[in-house]
Amino acid sequence: MKFDTPATTNPIDQLKVIGRPHDRIDGPLKTSGRAPYAYERHDVIPNQAYGFIVGAAIATGRITRIDTAAALAAPGVLAVVTHENAGKLGKAEAITAHLLGGPLVEHYDQAIAVVVAESFEQARAAAKLVRVDYARGNGAYDLAEAKASAIKPKDGWGGPSDTAVGDFPGAFGKAAVKLDATYTTPDQCHSSMEPHASIAAWDGNKLTLWTSNQMIAWAVRDLSETLLIPKEDIHVMSPFIGGGFGSKLWIRSDAVLAALGARAAGRPVKLALARPQMFNNTTHRPATIQRIRIGATRKGKITAIGHESWSGDLPGGGPETAVNQTRLLYAGANRMTATRLAVLDLPEGNAMRAPGEAPGLMALEIAMDEMAEKLRLDPVEFRILNDTQVDPENPGTPFSHRDLIGCLRTGAERFGWDKRNPKPAQVSDGRWLVGMGMAAAFRGNLTTTSGARVGIDRKGVVTVATDMTDIGTGSYTIIAQTAAEMMGVPIDKVVVLLGDSSFPVSAGSGGQWGANSSTAGVYAACHALRTAIARKLGMDPDTAIFADGKIKSGKRSVSLAEAAGDAGLSAEDSIEFGDLAKTYAQATFGAHFAEVGVDRATGEIRIRRMSGAFAAGRILNPKSARSQVIGAMTMGAGAALMEEAVVDPRFGYFVNHDLAGYEVPVHADIPHQDVFFMDEVDDKSSPMKAKGVGELGICGVAAAIANATYNACGVRVRDYPVTLDKVIGKLPPYV
């Protein structure tokens, strides 16, 4: 099905199942411990051995000698694989560093060997017996030092690296009120509850992999390019994933090393990364340095806005696209953005929840707060004043639907923004200085081709099969809701099968495109099945009604079970998106509000409450959407106040590579969250008239908290995270 004209009235608009707050249909499996995660697939193949990865102890250089004799002689050891005996390997184009290093070492903790043994304990113990000698090279690990050597990267998914409209230098120079400030965000690391894990088994030349991966088709592609075997010889399954957040968009070393270990040992091998390996062995959000310049009239109209960002990655890697939202969020005739990329010998920098906009708004929305203060305008009203209904870089391109103003006003009213004292350090509650802050939220609306197969059996049960994944976001449920709505059956009459490369290729989970695109693919397949059923019965597919488990046309009514017959019926189709994304700017919007307390004596910062209003198209399941947003807001709180992967500048690795040193928010850090979804449909986005919401929820949170901290105590922090050491020496006197 081609989606190239705006959606008209369709069966989804009935809203009998879609748009209602359904419980997760996978909830009972998860709460009872019966959900099959990759490392726990004891049932799928017998005689599984265990793998443990040996990581490089240097960040750059070469392996001069690797001695595996002691490891091979250890109890229970079946095989040790290194670059010397792994055979010929390739490197997947989508992955920056080799997933098995050697003799060249590209980053600290890069996998350089895997030990396979009868038990996990034996594999881990033997891994410590692998002896490696290195010739260590000189690496670059500090973004500030490497900034001068940064270059303009190739244009990519985020659009062009540089943009310019009008005369930014001239307009900024002439502006009545202007801001020129630099902000920094640190390296941040993933640490989802389920680590990267895989079980690999060979049957001749055919590989089966049970793994934790967000994008099944990408996993097949990348395994094919790495192991140099045809894609048709690879079967990947990932029905349940315990979090990914971008770190599992591409295969990592667990998948490749499990496969190599299984081939060497002649047995299935299961392998999970230890928690510390997730920080340096996989990917992270790269640090940024961002310079923002804003010029405005004295009445607050932006006349010039410029955003430059620097980040680093391994050779061949890509930048953090932190300028993306600045290209679309606010009006202003004279504009510029620039992205620069430095080479750093740190682990691979790549996608982490809402790449681009999440760190970009951490800077932009503090800058907007500072500019509002200079103009003596309320921060909400300043943003409303500079709203735009067209792409400001391409004024002939309107937004498909944009309700940033509605989010700002609704969010402010629900939060009680009118009670905020605009003068910093004026409100106290005992020993706490109390402040309010806000920030706009923005995330582009991405869509991608997605397919599904839908069948109905002689009992009237609808089964959906697609390689879409559920990373804890509720894919099973919204896909079931879509099929139930389209086929006119209760949701408990729908079976959903996900995460298997033998199923039709879907959008996968990532980039906030998963829910909208995958359900649109299911819509397309259901539309094809409705047509097949109607034609089989001699009914007009365009006028036949599917409801109450039946298909009806005029006075004739046939149950779906009867229509399916003993053989059943099925149909397969994909949604293919046309040029509407080029004809219209498509994005999601929101407004975050936060209240914090700052301890007068210690500088400790505590969130007291958070609130947000969001416009993200039709909300398919308000219950799971809220869950996604409060989780994203929590991640944003971590980015604001605590998350920082500390780089050792001598040896090029993240020192705090576990949850003891890399701090993340816990329940006690997040006392109250309010989430409100605007009543919105976007007929230019998909036949579902939905958009994504999972990444929008993190965008702008950190800045709202940073701005609230400033309002509370009068200390402006431009370098994240906003920790007490950055405010304590500048607090007002405590009397």
In angstroms, the CA 29 to CA 473 distance is: 15
Strands, E assignment, 394-538: 394-398, 428-429, 432-444, 450-456, 462-465, 494-497
SS3 166: coil
SS3 432: strand
Instruction: Determine phi and psi for 313, rounding to 5 degrees.
Output: -160, 170
SS3 650: coil
CA 727 to chain centre: 31
What tokens were used for 200? 């690999």
**Which of the following is catalytic: 370, 572, 644, 695?**
695
Give me the residue label for tokens 């009459």.
493
In angstroms, the CA 206 to CA 202 distance is: 6
- What's the Cα-to-Cα distance from 720 to each of 248, 343, 363, 699, rounded to whole Å? 25, 22, 9, 15
Helices (H), 619-673: 622-641
Nearest CA among 285, 130, 201 for reference residue 638 = 285
Burial category of 158 from C-beta neighbours within 10 Å (exposed 0-12, middle 13-18, buried 19 and up): buried
Helix-strand-coil split of the chain, %, nearest 5: 30, 30, 45
What tokens were used for 304? 């010039």
The terminus-to-terminus CA distance of the chain in angstroms comes to 69
What tokens were used for 75? 């109890």
In angstroms, the CA 686 to CA 446 distance is: 11
Examine the residue annotation and report whether 695 is marked as an active-site residue of this protein.
Answer: yes
Contact 731, 598 (CB under 8 A): yes
The b/e string for 43-52 (b: 16+ C-beta within 10 A; e otherwise) is eebeebbbbb
Contact 190, 36 (CB under 8 A): no
Length of the chain: 735
Relative orientation angle of helices 514-536 and 475-487, to the nearest 10 degrees? 30
In angstroms, the CA 284 to CA 352 distance is: 7
Cα Rg of the chain (Å, integer):
27
In angstroms, the CA 385 to CA 618 distance is: 26
- Longest distance between any two alpha carbons in the chain, whole Å: 85
Strands, E assignment, 46-110: 49-55, 61-67, 77-82, 104-105
Q: In what side-by-side order are the strands of the sheet with 605-615? A: 428-429, 432-444, 587-599, 605-615, 673-677
SS3 103: coil
Which amino acid type is present at position 24?
Answer: R
Cis peptide before 504 (omega within 30 of 0): no
Instruction: Determine phi and psi for 609, rounding to 5 degrees.
Output: -165, 155
Catalytic residues: 695
